[in-house]
């Protein structure tokens, strides 16, 4: 994510949009952290801190003790938490450089794809809608550095669940 953005941002014109695909699974990446790690995550201000956190998770997972170390248990959730944490940091950096580029991340929902083993309850078209929405935000938008689902700003600290119809809803 960072390497691609570092390579492409210099090529982008003002008015450009960056849309990272995250997931509400970022909440799992946060929920299962120890209180100590939650406090650290809440205080991260640099990409290096986020990358170090993900590396610590990977190393602990390889050793089989990520939960014992307080780093949680979801590789997918941890990776998506990283995307969500990096997004506002990237927006802040671009703003400080005077770039008129907007960065956001989104959750496309529980989409029926190979990744969900065909169990997703939303169509691919539904899943793509939020990315298209964010890519076409108007100039001067206040939606900058945000985590968005169904055109609503959400938080990685919120808890989510699947309802009886397989739709992601607040817990």
Contact 27, 33 (CB under 8 A): no
The yes-or-no answer on residue 30 being catalytic is no
The active-site residue out of 30, 37, 44, 76 is 76
Strand-pairing partners, residue 28, are none
In this structure, are strands 160-162 and 102-106 parallel, antiparallel, or unpaired?
unpaired
Q: What is the DSSP letter of 167?
A: -
Contact 76, 118 (CB under 8 A): no
* Rg, Å, the chain Cα set: 16
Instruction: Specify the long-range contacts of residues 120-127, CB closer than 8 Å, at least 24 apart.
Output: 120/166, 121/162, 121/165, 121/166, 121/167, 122/167
CA-angle at 20, arms to 7 and 125, nearest 5°: 130
Closest Cα to residue 155, out of 54, 85, 108, 75? Answer: 85
Residues acting as catalytic residues: 76
């Amino acid at each position: 994510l960072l390497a691609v953005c570092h390579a492409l941002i210099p090529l982008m014109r003002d008015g450009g949009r960056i849309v990272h695909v995250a997931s509400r699974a970022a909440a799992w990446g946060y929920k299962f952290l120890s209180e100590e790690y939650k406090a650290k995550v809440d205080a991260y201000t640099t990409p290096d801190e986020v990358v170090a956190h993900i590396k610590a998770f990977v190393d602990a997972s390889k050793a089989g003790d990520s939960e014992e170390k307080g780093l949680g248990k979801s590789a997918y959730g941890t990776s998506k938490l990283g995307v969500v944490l990096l997004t506002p940091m990237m927006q802040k950096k671009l703003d400080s450089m005077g770039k008129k580029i907007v960065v956001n991340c989104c959750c496309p929902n529980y989409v029926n794809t190979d990744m969900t083993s065909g169990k997703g309850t939303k169509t691919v078209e539904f899943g793509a809608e939020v990315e298209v929405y964010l890519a076409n935000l108007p100039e001067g938008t206040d939606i900058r550095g945000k985590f968005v689902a169904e055109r609503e700003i959400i938080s990685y600290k919120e808890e989510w669940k699947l309802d009886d119809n397989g739709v992601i809803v607040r817990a």
